[in-house]
Structure 1
Amino acid sequence: MKLQLSTWPEIESYLERSRCIVVPIGSTEQHGPTGMIGTDALCPEIVADGMAEQRELLIGPTLSVGMAQHHLAFPGSISLRPSTLIRVVVDVVESLAGHGFEQIFFLNGHGGNIATVQAAFAEFWARSSFARRDSGLNLQLHNWFQGRRVGRLSRELFGDDEGSHATPSEISLVLSAYAEAARTVALQPERPPSGPIRDARDFRRRHPDGRMGARSELASVEHGRRICEAAVADALDALG
């Protein structure tokens, strides 16, 4: 069940049965010459859809722009400042809490969001603490790419070629739902360098084609289907 495709009476009825909502959160940023710019938002959407196929869950709208300032030297990337993303997450939480949601499960597809979303949770808890009240909320952040099953499968399929950005795992997951988006591009070097993440110009100098240690060309639809199955199982376990 998707919030965006529901009416308000349907959401009111859902709240009589469940107080849980899954909110996909990702980023709009370059993913090398073969990965779609929307990869980090599409991945949690795909996993959330898989979760809803197995359990009655309400899926919220995807927060598709995240903290991606280090990719801004690549055309098409869009970023929020950390302080802006904190305010966005807090406002989303307060909006949902006001309707009666008690378990808000952020399903994340972008490593750059982790610290900021955790800071947003801390901001929300601080507001409750200073107001001397119990928020009554269970806020969770689950990074699909860090799940136990996903990690094991990625190591099996790609080993050290997984890298850390524009990875064959995330590109495969997107291809499992958007097979027509597959690109065939000669990538050089075969395995690009890894390195620190600083500002946008520094990132572009270190990683000219946008990849970080990843052999993106190893991605496939079949790998993506297996990764999706693993990611859904990990996320349902985390949801509890």
Structure 2
Amino acid sequence: MYLAAEAWPDLESYFESESLAIVPLGSTEQHGPHLPEGTDHLIAEGFARETASRTGYLCTPTINVGVSPHHRQFPGTMWVDPPVFRDYVESFSRNLAYHGIDRIVYVNAHGGNVQHLREVGRRLHEDEVAFAVEWMWDESIPELVDDVFEQNGPHGGPKETALIQYLESDLVHEDRLEDARDGGVPDIEAAETTKFGARTFYDAVDNSDNGVFGDQTDATAEKGERLFEAATDQLVQLCDWLDGQDIEELLPEPRV
């Protein structure tokens, strides 16, 4: 069920019988010369909408601008400051709680959002408003990702390329895959910007001239479909598990 497509009487029926919501989040930021700036939020929305379709759980509209100042040197990158992002997501989540939602899955596809979503989840948990967890697709199937790609790349690499080839093939510049590979670096270690245990970089461009990592030519839509199916299965299982928990067991433990 997609919230924005439903009329209020049908949503009222959902809130009377269900208490879980799926919230897709991502970013609008550079993903190299070959992928659209909406890569992260398109991936998050793909997983969230498919999971909602398979399970009947409620999927909200996508939060498509996140914490991305580390990509700001590349034209078109959008971002909000971390406190603004946290407050917005928390307010968004409290809105859901007002309607009766007490468990939330943040389907997140942008690494820059992770720590902030966990902080929002902690706030909601501490206030006994809702139990919210952050989920990232590649962290749910790490062995498969490593098996499919020799150099999977942490950003704009073959794993994200393959997913967009599968989900939104018209948005991939297939003729730029070699340029993406040759103009970037294999991984962060190859950038040699960690010195004596300290990270000496702040922005993506400090590590990679074109903002991406890995071998993008190793991506195919078929590989993307394989990743999508495997991770969607993990997300379905997470939602079913969370839906089956007693909310009292999810609330904070009493003081010792």
**CA deviation string 1:77-111 (max 9, x = no partner):** 10111111110111011111011111111111011
| Alignment-derived partner of residue 106 in structure 2 | 106
Give the TM-score, by structure 2 length. 0.83
- What is the identity percentage for the equivalent residue pairs of Structure 1 and Structure 2? 28
Q: Which moved more, 1:179-188 or 1:59-68?
A: 179-188
| Alignment-derived partner of residue 77 in structure 1 | 77
| Alignment-derived partner of residue 165 in structure 2 | 175
Structure 1: which 5+ residue stretches go unaligned? Answer: 129-133
In structure 2, do the counterparts of structure 1 residues 197 and 154 end up closer, same or farther at CA, with 3 Å as the change threshold?
farther
Larger RCO, structure (CA 8 Å, separation 6 or more) = 1
Matched letter for residue 73 of structure 1: Q
Deviation (angstroms), 1:192? 3.8
| Alignment-derived partner of residue 225 in structure 1 | 225
**CA deviation string 1:195-221 (max 9, x = no partner):** 558444xx3243110113x11222211
- Counterpart CA distance in 2 for 1:98 and 1:56 is 20
- Counterpart CA distance in 1 for 2:207 and 2:131 is 40
- Counterpart CA distance in 2 for 1:181 and 1:218 is 17
- Counterpart CA distance in 2 for 1:215 and 1:101 is 42
Deviation (angstroms), 1:162? 0.5
| Alignment-derived partner of residue 131 in structure 1 | none
Q: Secondary structure at the match of 1:162?
A: coil
Deviation (angstroms), 1:123? 2.9
| Alignment-derived partner of residue 148 in structure 2 | 157
Structure 2: which 5+ residue stretches go unaligned? Answer: 194-198, 242-256
Deviation (angstroms), 1:189? 4.6
**CA deviation string 1:97-129 (max 9, x = no partner):** 011111111111011111011112223344x2x
Deviation (angstroms), 1:191? 4.1
| Alignment-derived partner of residue 144 in structure 1 | 137
Matched letter for residue 157 of structure 2: T
Matched letter for residue 138 of structure 1: F
- Counterpart CA distance in 1 for 2:54 and 2:200 is 37
- Counterpart CA distance in 2 for 1:170 and 1:197 is 26
Aligned 8 A contact 2:36 2:172 in 1: no
